[in-house]
Structures are given as structure tokens and as C-alpha cells.
Structure 1
Amino acid sequence: MKVSAIVILSLVAGAACAGDSGQQGVQVGDLDRKVEPCNDFFAYANGTWRAQNPIPASMPRWSRRWAAGEANKDQLKILLEAAASAKAQKGSIDQLTGDFYASCMDEARIDRLGVEPLKPQLTEIANVRDNDGLQREIQRLHAMNVSVPFNIYGLSDDRNPNDVIVQVDASGLGLPDRDYYFKTEARFKEARIKYLEHVQKMFELAGYPANDAKAAAQTVMRMETSLAQHSLDNVALRDPKATDHKMTFAQLQQLTPNFGWQQYYATSKLPTGELNVAEPEFLKEVDRQLKATSLADWKTYLSWHLLHSAAPSLSKAFVQEDFAFNSAYLQGAKEMKPRWKQCAESADSQLGEAVGKIYVEKYFPPQAKARVQDMVKNLRLAMGETIEGLQWMSPATKKRALEKLSTFNPKVGYPDKWLDYSAVPISRDSYWNNVVAGRQFNVRDNWSTIGKPLDRDRWGITTPTSDAYYNPLLNEIVFPAGILQPPAFSLAASDAINYGAIGVVIGHEISHGFDDQGAQYDAQGRLKNWWSDADLKAFQTRTACVVKQFDGYFIEPGIHHNGKLVLGESIGDLAGARIAYRALEISRRGKAPLPTIDGFTPEQQFFIAWGQFRGDEIRPEFARSMVQGDPHPIAKYRVIGPLSNLPEFQQAFQCKADAPMVRKASERCEVW
């Protein structure tokens, strides 16, 4: 929150058997028929596919869904190579994307330059002589999206979403989250040791003598540990009230008297209106360290975060060391992605809407957008019927819930208007300079929204991305073209398949508007209670059931999910499956029944589609990382968890009451 269709069809959906209906049904070859669906539906739905398709060495998890996301990059490769070989006018999309990609692919030049492209910024930091200079350097780093020790960006005001205000957020940690600095289990102690070694190696690559690099790593760890000590943990951060601290510019200056905000704002061209500080205690600690920590230590800390941020864009030695810690150690990946794929991802990251525009022109047909929009309409109808039928909610609260649902803004496929990158200085001379230029454009673009009327046409995700999101402040649900492909969606698939896959995703995002976080925002996107006391208590009792359920899911002995951390996503999956099932029924009203395909009823197809969409095999290192900090459960429990609560699943597969996939009536969770 504060978050080629043609090629894919042949790669992913071509194996489906069409039966006699002419429509594609479930991936029958993926099923593990040795497993009873009522015993372990995750294994049943996709066990054979996972056994036959081991996780690629460069990936932390793998499924048809992740394969489709990686195949998007095959399509980007075609587009970017064509742009790189074209004779394009300066400032055109082909020139920008082509030169960016070409500079990234010129590994010989990048390796020859080593750390040289970073020297101007490192020298700037080294030449800082006083506290004022230090603060100017922090502003320069922020302008190139190096968010240290805090982050500043424009976002809608929690209390009046039509106002875009400055948000000051905690940042500046190199480990995944604050708990890595303090937890005493062996895996966290090891992570701290590995991190110190990693920081030292990076400083050595930048030219530091070994002893100096070791001392620098200790300085970084000491400063980050102090900052982490004053940071909120992942569970606390899920409560929007915990990060709602609106104040005036004068109050910000009073909160942090050692930081010169007037100079920062003037240089950044930010309006000095009201703002929000997400974590005041963190910012107080930054202010304390500005006075108590030596200038030399601050320069070491800033140099590290510049190196950390730039490493993937530098020579092979930096890229490999960055991979060794962040991907291999923390996530379990065995090798780096091929260079072309790294470059495609980088182009999408820095020039996202330029890349996205050429992507949808070639790979996203209008009829796909129209069909998904029709599905969204039916999902909203299903959510409305669900709300109206609730026995535990009073009529007054139902009315406000339905009002909120009516204001949802669905975005499908791609933006109605695209960002203009034509003035971004992209050339083939320096890949790092191109990354900086892209970052600076994106930061300026975001900062330019502050203090201006809210632009609801903006997107918070790039078009080729295989993901979706809900924004409670704008009350919008967003589904880019990158996810609207098999196994999530296909024009050739039966309605049962599409509603069981992308339909559940759509329902998931709609229900985020009514999960433990989203339910705190009203129809206008304001952080404002719209519940009666009795209804809110009933809602919290129901969400507590989900917390308890997911607390009981272990990924290995001694390590289990944190139900409070994954609550919002788990409510989303549970409600998403329920309302998508109802939406499928709505779509058939007045029409002939859907066909049985390959021996599977439409109801069975629906649930198998969800099991196959979420069929991730995951590396143990990445599973441990997710359990620690990711608000999403691992895929196995995103399948087993919600479906075991649904009587519709039990009926579809004729499961006995004592089957493992059927929760006891007294333990069954139902929120929406």
C-alpha cells in the first residue's frame, strides 16, 4: 500500500485439453492424481507440474504464474532489442529504451569502468566538511532515489486523499527489516555476520584497504542497529493509524531541530505545507545521530548505501557480490539471471511507462481488456450481494460498506495517459548514468505531484508487471496487462478457469478494501471509522479466526507464519475465492450451464484453477524470508488456507467432514 499474449498462450496454455467444449479447462497434466484433493489440494492441483519443473537456478520460487511473469521479459527482450537496433529520433521511446538497454548490455564497457561511474558521488560524500554539507548530500541522494537515512515522497493524505502531501518515512537499513538486527535465533545471528562480511567486501571492491573496509562495515552495522531500534516492526507497520502523524512544517522542524528542512525543501522544490511523518521516533533518532555521530561515520554510512543502491548497475564484481548476499544467501537463488533479463527488468524499473506503451501495443489485445472489465463488474456485484447478505453486520454499516464498494475505481491493462520521458538524458555512454537519470526523473515526477490536485489517472505499477494492487487512499484496484495472461487469464479458457484464477485475484484486491487495513478507510479514501462499535467488534472476532489459522501453518519445524502479519492477504484470498465463486454464478444467470471439461465440473475447474495459479515451489531460504517479513503467506497456504474454509470446495469435491481440507464448523473462518 504505503503497492506477448501470443507467446504466453503457446507456452503456458497450449497443454490444456479442450474436451468437447472448445474451451480450455484445467491443466490436466499438472495434477497429481495419486493425491486425494480432499487431503492436500495444493499437491493435487499442481504436484506433477512442480515435480517435472524444478525451480530454475536464478529463481527463489517457481510455478506457471512465475514462469508467465518471466516470459513477459522474453517479450520485453524482443521489443528492447528492436529499439536498440533502430535509428530513432532523440527523445523518442525507441531512442530512450533502446539506448538504455544497449548501455546495460555493454558489459565489456561496464566492467572496464569498474567503480569509476560512481566516483563523482563517492567523492562528493568524501568531501563533506560539516553538518550542512552532510544534509545537502542526503538531499542529493534522495533526488537519485537512494533513501537514506529516511525517505521522502508524495502521497495522498490519509485524512484527505485529494491532497497530495509530503510523506517522511523510515528507511536506511541494509538488512530486510528491523528484526534482523535483534532476533536471537541462529538464522538471524548468521544473517548479521554475513551482512558484515558483505558490506566489507563491497567497500573493498570500491577501493578500501581490507582493514578500513572491515571498520567501515562495523560503523554501518552500529548506525543501522540504532536506527532499527527506533523503527516499527512489520506487524506494527500494518496498522495505518501507527503511521499517521500529520504535522505542520514548523512541527517537523521542532521534531528534528538538528536538520535544516528549509534548505532541503528549497533545493527539492517542495511546498512547505502540511505533511505526514510515518515514524516520529525513528526521525528523532536520525536527529540525535546528526549530533552524536561523527561526520566520518556518517560519510561511511552514506557511502555504503550509495554502493548498496548502485551495485547492480556497476561492474561484474559488484553485481556478483550483491547477488551473493541479497539473492543467493537471503533467497536461495543459485545463479544470476541472464544479463539481458537483468537489463529488461532495469528498463522496466526506470522507464516503466515508455516500456509499457510499446508492450501493450504488441501484446495486449483490446478484447482481453474488455473481458476482464466484464469480470470486474461481476466481482463487484458479487461483493455487493455478499455484503447485503451478511447476518453479522447492521443495516447502517452495510449501507456505508456498499457506498464504499460503489466508489471503487478499477484500472485494467494500461494507463489512459502515459508519462513523457522525452527530456530524460539517456545515451549509450554510461549505464549507471542512465540509471541515475531514470531515477531522478521518477523522483522529480513524484515530488511534482505534491501540493497539486490529485491525478487519479496515475498508476503505481508498470504495465508489463505480473501483479495487481489495491490503493485504499484512492479506492482503486489495478490489474496491469502483465498479469492478464495464462495461467491467470486467457481468452481461450473457460469462464470457470478465468474466474478461478484472475477472478480470485480481482476478488482479492476488492476485498483489500474491507480487510483489517482497508476497512479503516471510508468511501472517500479517508482514514476514518465508518463502523458501528458492535459491527467492528464482530469483524475483529472474524479476523482473529484467520490470525489463529495462519499462526498454525509451519514452513519447517520451529518456523511458522505470523497470522497478524499475513492477515490482510489471507482475508483477501478467503474473500476473493468466495466472491469470485459467486461472480462466476452471476455471469451464468440466464445462460446455459457451463460444460464439464475433461471430466471436471465447472465448480471443480474453478478451484483447480486457483490451485494451479498459486502452485509455487519455493526455496527454503526464501520461505524463511517471507515468513519473517512478507505479508503474503507462502503459496501452499494461500491454496489450502482459504479453500479449507469454503463449503463450496467441500461440495465440489465431495469431501467428507473429517477430511484434512475441511475445517471443523467451529473453526471455520468467514469474514466476507
Structure 2
Amino acid sequence: MPNLSILRPSALAFCLVLAVAAPQADAAKRRKPAAPAPKATPAPTACSDFHLFANADWLKANPVPAEGGVSALGQLAERSLQQQRQLLDDAAKSPQNGIQKLLGDFWASGLDEAAVERDGAAPIAPLLARIGAIKKPQDVAPAIAALHQVGIPVAFNFTADLDLKQLDTYFGYFAQGGLGLPDASFYTRTDADARALLGRYNGHVQKILALSGTPQAKLAGEAQLVIDLETRIARMSKTQDALRGLRANYNPVPTKDFAKKYRNLQLAAFLKAQGVNAEQVSMADPALFAQLDKLAGSLKPAQWQAYLRFHVGNTMAPYLSKNWREVDHDFRGKLLRGEDEPAPRWKQVLDAINASAGAMVAREYVARHLPDATRERADAIARSVKEALGTAIDRNTWMDAPTKIEARAKLDRVKIEIGAPRSDLDFTAQPMGRGSFGGNILIASTWHHREEMKRIGRANADRRWDVLPQYPALGYDLAHNRLFVSAALLQPPVLDMQQPLAAQYGGFGAVVGHELSSVVDASGRRVDASETLRDWWSADTATAWNARTAPLAAFYGRLAYPGNPTLKIDGARVLEQSVADLAGLELAWAAYEKAEPQAKAADQQPFFRGWSRLWTQQLSAQAAAAHAAGSPYPPGHWRSNGPLMQLSAFGSVFGCKAGSAMLLPEAERVSIWR
């Protein structure tokens, strides 16, 4: 979209010149005096609209799209995908180590669509044969266990996650699952929409079964068997609302009686097959598993065969030949995810590799894209922001003394991890060839499942992250009291090593501050310094916090979306993130002032440009409406300007006078850590 504030003055000047250059006395006598021409909209300045002022070039180069949106951070995410793509291209052409050989063959097998077509359904043939060998109820449980081993969870879910009583340890979690639709309610609701979806799902089940080898004459009957079994599971399952909350899925139970208690599901043998030897696991809903145990022993093997064959085909369809992929996209892509067209083939393959072997990609990505100098700079900035938070805790007035003591103790124990997690993975895996992409998916997902199961019962939960280093990410891990920064994030616009230190603090330092503030704020109050789940804030501190932050909700609630004054920001919904943005800027500014105490105003200005550069964004009308309806963040324009308007330092650095749009009256400004 053209910058109208720049185009308007020249256009108006041209019209005025014409009027003056061609005066007609007679005409002037006959006409009423012309109304004064409207004044041109002045170009934005730092003190009138910093976001437009600082990002004029980016906004001009990235006009508002007809649909969707574009943002600087979105462009960073896209760049990271291209970096991964190049890494895998190079690994396929000239691997330099064993992991690159695995990845290169995996990548090449996915891009060779002719080979994928020739392979057809061959990758799942052994799994289908195993299911076909089920003859009696006792054969069902071993088949379920075998599918879990290759990363195809059926009947229920079993995963590794944190033990809420010992947050440094992983626990095994038995939980509900085994459905082809995303929510159990779709099977039990009686409204027209749910019934229509179930009807479409029936057609999808038939198509997958047909590709899996079910004769045409049996398709309708077998599809009904699948949906009947899934409906039984759905009726026994809890609602999504009932599963919300930290402890909703946590219920430790001993495993010593599993062989007797779950004779048909054979859960003791199931755990052994997954390589898990634990005295306790979590089973949030024992009644569900008691019912599943009955179903395993009472339903005819043919029904379980239809169900298991469908789930193998449904899970693997995106990785098989085109006819499988088209069936998958028609239902899950178009209907469930709202995708008009499939992603480009290379993105499909990259997503598949990251889902099943993302840790392998991470190791090679970090080695290639995170120089030591960048890692060291990021670590130094993060530690200086952490130090600034310690000073802010000591001097703040809204925490009482006992709360401050716990806050300092917790902050002192914060771990900062830059680039990638400490890893205890065993990267040995079955060799991958270039002839079977689906086969490689099963090899990689088997490896991934094996490594996940190894976590259970081990006191090293802080060795891994829940995000992959090759994706731009920064976050605070509440359970393990650590800040993690992914390798992919440490590049422009977040951390630009070509920019002055001030810009690095304003960009990277401020987002670090955003997350570090969560160590001790209303989010961090849920876990104490010893990594125990408890609220360590006093009632007085909570009251003071709410009084201090509430005006920020009112401030954002008065702001309209750029280009659409009818759309207002939901101040309450964006409050948490807006508080963290302001806190992050305050802490980063304090850290920067200490790093460059002699800096002049001109040298300090890049700090605020570094912040604003992060939030450049252009949204179509439709995307803006969707953002306004549900996003926990303000739109980029106000995410950039909003916190700056609270900071007196901003006004001082740019010489903004009282009454400037970018400088709120002192009585209206909100502060968190100043």
C-alpha cells in the first residue's frame, strides 16, 4: 500500500500551482471564493507516530496484502525454513557426517515424487499384515503396542511429560485418544453441523479403507465398525474443558498390578514393549481404561482390525503416494484445517522430517547457523537483562518483603540456555535409503518414540526443550525456571550483529526482558524458587500488581486497529502480553544504560528502533478482523508504539515535547519495574 502521507503533499502542491498559474478575472467575479484546500497530512515523526516513522521503508516494501498478513517475524520464520531447506539439500548432495547422511537420504526420498508413487502403500504393508494376523481378542493388545512403537497411537495415548511432584523428572502419561476427529464431542453431538461432519468423516474412512485393501462391497460395513468403536471411545472420554488445568491429567497409579487389572489391554506388556520400566505412571481416568480393557476383550477381532487398519492408513496418508495424499487433503486439509491447496512439496517433506527427526535437523542447523560470536553476544545481553531485573526487584514498591525474598531466590536460580538444549539423545537409527519416503517416516518416528520413552523416570527433564532450535522461539520454561533462546531467533530483526549495541538491546534484550519478567510476575507466581507448584505471592503483592497493571488494559482498549477505526483492541485480552512488553522494554533499557553509560541521545535512538522493527506488520481487512477477535497481542503498530508511549526515556531521547502523541502525560503512564 502506498504511503499516502508521503504522496499527498506533492499532489496537493500540483493542484495549487495550476490554480495560481491560470487566473481568470471574469470567472473569479462570477464564482464564489473557493474553499481553502485541505491541509496535507504531515509525514510521521518520531514524536507523532514512531512506528510509521521508524519503519517507513519496510511498510512501503511490504504493502497490505489482499488476504492474510505479512510481518517481520513471519519473514524471519520463512527465512529459517529456507535455511533448513538448504541444509537438507546440501546433506543430500554431500553429507559430512552420519546424521547428515540420514537426513540427506530422508530428504531426497521425500522430494523424489516418482519414487513415492512407485512405492505406493508398500511402507505400511508390514503393519497391515500384522493387523491382518489378528485372529482372537488376545492378539489385539500386542498390535496396539506395536503401532505405538512406530509412532501411531491407537485406542489411547501414552506420552512422556513432567512429573508434577518432581518437575525435574519425566513421567509416563496414559491419556484418552484413539479418535480420528479432533474432539470427542463430534461423535456425540446431535446438531446438524456435527451430524454433517460425521457424515463427511464416514466417507473419508471409506476412502482410506479402500486404499488399505478393503473390497468395495465391505467398505460401508467396515467404515461403520470404525466409527462405532470410535464413538464408544468418545462417549467414555472427558470433554476438553474437563481436561484443562495443570493437574487435570495427573493421577499417579502403581504399575505392579497392571497385568491383572488390564488383562485384555495387557498394559504391563505394553509398557515393556515401549521400553518403560516405571513403578508409577499417570492415568487420569482409570475408568476409561477399564472400559477400553472390556472392549479389547469383547469386540470381535474384525472390528479391531478395521479400526487399526484405518488408523494406520489415516496416519500415514500424507507420506504415501498421491492418491493417499489427495484423500488426506480433501478431509483433513480442506475441511478440518481450512487449507485451499496443499503446501509445496518441499514444505510437506520438511514438516514431516521435523515432526519425526527434528532433533537431528536441530543439531546440524545449530552447527551451521549459530556462530560463537552471536551466541556469546546473546548470552551477555540476556545476563545483563537478568541483572537489571534483580535490581528492579530490590527497588520496586509493589512487592512486600517476603515476596521480594522469594523473587530474588528464584531469579538467582534462573538458567539461560542459548541456541539449543543440552541433549542426551542417542542419534543412532536404522539406515535410511532413498527409495521409500514412507518407510523413512516409520524409521524416524520409531527412533523419535524410542527417545521419548527413554525420558520416563529419568531426572534430566531440563535437558530438552519443547521447541526445535531451527524455529525462531524464545520463552520462559516455568517448570524448570529457565530462559531458552533458539538458534533461529538469533538473526535479524531480533538480533542483528551488524547493528549497534543499542539496537541489539532494544530488539533482543527487550524480548528477553519480556520473558524474564515472567520469572516473578503474575505468571511466575505459580512455581517457587525450589521448582515446587505453589503460589508464593502474598495477597498484598497480588492486590498491588492488579492495581498497577489495570490501567494498561484501559489504555489499549481505547486504541483502534490501523486502517480500521471500527475495530478496537480488547484491552483485557491483551493485558498479560502488553504488561510483559512494557516490562521487557524497561528492563532492557536499564541494562543498556549500564552497558553504555556515556551514550549520547543519537547513539541511544537505535534502541527504540530495534524494538519497533520487531513488530512491523501488515494485515488484510479479514486478517485484522480475525486478529481483533482472538489474538492475545495488540496489532504490530500498537505493540510497537504502546510501550514506548509509557517511557519517559523515549521522549527524552527523541526530544518529544509535552502533548506529543508518543508521550503520554506523566500521570497516565504505567510502569512495571521503573
TM bucket, shorter chain: 0.7 to 0.9
Equivalent in the alignment of 1:5:
none
Is the alpha carbon distance of 1:603 and 1:372 closer, same or farther for their aligned partners in structure 2, counting shifts above 3 Å?
Answer: closer
Report the CA distance between 1:363 and its aligned residue. 2.1
Question: Unpaired runs of 5+ in structure 2?
Answer: 1-40
Check the 8 A contact 1:240/1:517 in 2, yes or no. Answer: no
Report the CA distance between 1:109 and its aligned residue. 1.5
Is the alpha carbon distance of 1:142 and 1:562 closer, same or farther for their aligned partners in structure 2, counting shifts above 3 Å?
Answer: farther
Q: Distance in 2 between matches of 1:191 and 1:47?
A: 47
- Identify the match of residue 646 of structure 2 among 643, 648, 665: 648
Is the partner of 2:484 in helix, strand or coil? strand
Check the 8 A contact 2:418/2:487 in 1, yes or no. Answer: yes
Q: How does 1:375-414 map to 2 (within 5 A)?
A: 375-414=381-420
Is the alpha carbon distance of 1:529 and 1:295 closer, same or farther for their aligned partners in structure 2, counting shifts above 3 Å?
Answer: farther
Q: Distance in 2 between matches of 1:71 and 1:381?
A: 32
The code of the aligned residue for 2:528 comes to D
The code of the aligned residue for 2:351 comes to E
Is the alpha carbon distance of 1:550 and 1:100 closer, same or farther for their aligned partners in structure 2, counting shifts above 3 Å?
Answer: farther
Q: Distance in 1 between matches of 2:515 and 2:95?
A: 42
Q: Distance in 1 between matches of 2:224 and 2:592?
A: 61
Report the CA distance between 1:75 and its aligned residue. 2.3
Is the partner of 1:588 in helix, strand or coil? helix
Structure 2 residue 345 is matched with structure 1 residue 347: no
Of residues 322-331 and 657-666 in structure 1, the stretch that sits farther from structure 2 once superposed is 657-666
Structure 2 residue 616 is matched with structure 1 residue 608: no
The code of the aligned residue for 1:121 comes to L
Q: Distance in 2 between matches of 1:103 and 1:337?
A: 18
Is the alpha carbon distance of 1:230 and 1:670 closer, same or farther for their aligned partners in structure 2, counting shifts above 3 Å?
Answer: farther
Check the 8 A contact 1:60/1:331 in 2, yes or no. Answer: no
The code of the aligned residue for 2:283 comes to V
Please tell me the root mean square deviation across aligned C-alpha atoms, in Å: 4.9
Report the CA distance between 1:367 and its aligned residue. 0.9
Structure 2 residue 573 is matched with structure 1 residue 575: no
Q: Distance in 2 between matches of 1:585 and 1:127?
A: 68
Report the CA distance between 1:396 and its aligned residue. 1.0
Equivalent in the alignment of 1:109:
115
The code of the aligned residue for 1:605 comes to R
- Identify the match of residue 159 of structure 2 among 130, 153, 156: 153
Check the 8 A contact 1:509/1:572 in 2, yes or no. Answer: no
Report the CA distance between 1:372 and its aligned residue. 0.9
Q: How does 1:430-449 map to 2 (within 5 A)?
A: 430-449=436-455
The code of the aligned residue for 1:438 comes to A
Is the alpha carbon distance of 1:139 and 1:363 closer, same or farther for their aligned partners in structure 2, counting shifts above 3 Å?
Answer: same
Deviations 1:549-592 (A, max 9, x none): 99999999xx999999x78xx63553144223322332222523
Is the partner of 1:99 in helix, strand or coil? helix
Structure 2 residue 173 is matched with structure 1 residue 167: yes
Report the CA distance between 1:343 and its aligned residue. 2.6
Is the alpha carbon distance of 1:553 and 1:530 closer, same or farther for their aligned partners in structure 2, counting shifts above 3 Å?
Answer: same
Is the partner of 1:269 in helix, strand or coil? coil
Report the CA distance between 1:65 and its aligned residue. 1.9
Equivalent in the alignment of 1:140:
146
Deviations 1:176-221 (A, max 9, x none): 4556667899887776565454444433443445675555555555
Q: Distance in 2 between matches of 1:554 and 1:127?
A: 63
Is the partner of 2:158 in helix, strand or coil? strand
Check the 8 A contact 1:99/1:426 in 2, yes or no. Answer: yes
The code of the aligned residue for 1:117 comes to P
Is the alpha carbon distance of 1:299 and 1:583 closer, same or farther for their aligned partners in structure 2, counting shifts above 3 Å?
Answer: same
The code of the aligned residue for 1:73 comes to L
Q: Distance in 1 between matches of 2:220 and 2:56?
A: 47
Deviations 1:482-516 (A, max 9, x none): 12112222112344543444334323433444566
**Percentage of matched positions with identical amino acids:** 25
Is the partner of 1:421 in helix, strand or coil? coil
Is the alpha carbon distance of 1:359 and 1:606 closer, same or farther for their aligned partners in structure 2, counting shifts above 3 Å?
Answer: closer
Q: Distance in 2 between matches of 1:609 and 1:242?
A: 40
Deviations 1:274-300 (A, max 9, x none): 222355565566456546765444443
The code of the aligned residue for 2:456 comes to I
Q: Structure 2-normalised TM-score?
A: 0.76
Report the CA distance between 1:609 and its aligned residue. 2.5
Is the alpha carbon distance of 1:636 and 1:536 closer, same or farther for their aligned partners in structure 2, counting shifts above 3 Å?
Answer: closer
Structure 2 residue 591 is matched with structure 1 residue 586: yes
Report the CA distance between 1:412 and its aligned residue. 0.6
Equivalent in the alignment of 2:26:
none
Equivalent in the alignment of 2:508:
502
Q: Distance in 1 between matches of 2:281 and 2:402?
A: 33
Check the 8 A contact 1:331/1:625 in 2, yes or no. Answer: no
Q: Distance in 2 between matches of 1:326 and 1:623?
A: 25
Q: Distance in 2 between matches of 1:514 and 1:253?
A: 45
Report the CA distance between 1:360 and its aligned residue. 2.6
Q: How does 1:142-541 map to 2 (within 5 A)?
A: 142-177=148-183, 194-208=200-214, 212-213=218-219, 220=226, 223-224=229-230, 227=233, 237=243, 239-250=245-256, 259-278=265-284, 283=289, 286-287=292-293, 289-290=295-296, 295-415=301-421, 419-454=425-460, 456-514=462-520, 518-535=524-541
Deviations 1:87-134 (A, max 9, x none): 777xx1232112111211221111122222212212322432344322
The code of the aligned residue for 1:322 comes to D
Is the alpha carbon distance of 1:118 and 1:537 closer, same or farther for their aligned partners in structure 2, counting shifts above 3 Å?
Answer: farther
Structure 2 residue 124 is matched with structure 1 residue 124: no
Equivalent in the alignment of 1:85:
93
The code of the aligned residue for 1:170 comes to Q
Deviations 1:518-573 (A, max 9, x none): 532222323234333554566688899999999999999xx999999x78xx6355
Of residues 42-51 and 279-288 in structure 1, the stretch that sits farther from structure 2 once superposed is 42-51
Counting matched residue pairs gives 627
Q: Distance in 1 between matches of 2:553 and 2:295?
A: 38
Is the alpha carbon distance of 1:39 and 1:267 closer, same or farther for their aligned partners in structure 2, counting shifts above 3 Å?
Answer: farther
- Identify the match of residue 73 of structure 2 among 36, 58, 65: 65
Of residues 288-297 and 178-187 in structure 1, the stretch that sits farther from structure 2 once superposed is 178-187
Q: Distance in 1 between matches of 2:608 and 2:619?
A: 22
Report the CA distance between 1:444 and its aligned residue. 1.1
Q: Distance in 2 between matches of 1:304 and 1:545?
A: 54
Q: Structure 1-normalised TM-score?
A: 0.76
Higher relative contact order, structure no. (Cα contacts within 8 Å, ≥ 6 residues apart):
1
